[in-house]
Amino acid sequence: MRNLPACARRICAGFVSATALLILAGCVSAPYTGRTQLMFYDENTDITAGAEAWQQVKAQEKVSTNATSNAALQRVGRNIAAAANKPSYDWEFVVFESSEANAFALPGGKVAVYSSLFQLFDNDAELATVVGHEVAHALARHSMERSSQSVLQACGGVLVELALGQDWTPAYQTTSNLLAMLPYSRTQELEADYLGLLLMARAGYDPRAALTFWEKFSKLNQVGVVGEFLSTHPDGEKRLEQLREALAEAQTEYRKSKQLGTGQSYR
């Protein structure tokens, strides 16, 4: 700690108190799982921010013209959205042309699946695994949680600068990313897997398809221990282990659903 004059110490103390109040005011229970979540935004902000970002994405990305993929995503998306039971969200599901095997969700219920991911799907239930995962990110408000954490990280950065000087800022950024931001991203990924599994089952898709899909995906996307530590995505085996543990609960949901099995086959 630098030898600070009394007025600077008072500024630091005030800043620490304000940050602590900010954390207290921002702690809420995450929807569905009840995990403690930092959230500085209300849900209307999710909807407005998501809709604006979605317009920008649609203007930049190429929408797929593949009739089979589009029909499959609309069919599965409709079923998952019904299972999500979130009338305040204006759900939209779009296939974008891309060689990247990826998918994403924006706040407020906008979901994109990239065209190359369809090469991995054998049936609707495997597509429902990814759609369920993305819908879960939107429902659990993960983007806005990350934005809230970034606000807090920036406050911490100011405090470090006030107390220790600018030279410590890069070390603070790296440490806070490794110790706080990345583990939270992985927590969100595992939460989206779990909620997504329940959603696909509630929508009528056999939840065992989630295991077949993520097994295929993890073979493509293998990361070692170091890779996982530095990655926003959980290790494939950790993901599968959690899904196996949640399978009995998902099968209970599935038995109460309209039981579509694996839905339409793509092969």
Residues with catalytic function:
134
Using the minimum distance from each CB to Zn ion, give the nearer residue, 192 or 246: 192
Using the minimum distance from each CB to Zn ion, give the nearer residue, 202 or 239: 239
Smallest separation (angstroms) from Zn ion to the CB of 189 = 5
Buried b (16+ CB within 10 A) or exposed e, 73-82: bebbbebbbe
* Binding residues for Zn ion restricted to 74-93, rule: CB under 5 A: none
Smallest separation (angstroms) from Zn ion to the CB of 239 = 10
Tell me, what amino acid is at 145?
E
Using the minimum distance from each CB to Zn ion, give the nearer residue, 92 or 191: 191
Part of the chain binding Zn ion (CB under 5 A), chosen from 70-78, 162-170, 192-200, 244-252: 192-200
- CA 216 to each of CA 120, 160, 210, 245, 252: distance values in angstroms, whole numbers, following the listed order: 8, 44, 10, 19, 25
* Binding residues for Zn ion restricted to 225-264, rule: CB under 5 A: none
Smallest separation (angstroms) from Zn ion to the CB of 171 = 29
Using the minimum distance from each CB to Zn ion, give the nearer residue, 199 or 260: 199
List the beta bridge partners of residue 104. 112
Part of the chain binding Zn ion (CB under 5 A), chosen from 41-49, 171-179, 191-199, 234-242: 191-199
Smallest separation (angstroms) from Zn ion to the CB of 192 = 5
Using the minimum distance from each CB to Zn ion, give the nearer residue, 17 or 102: 102
* Binding residues for Zn ion restricted to 150-189, rule: CB under 5 A: 189
Smallest separation (angstroms) from Zn ion to the CB of 169 = 30
Residues that bind Zn ion (CB under 5 A): 189, 192
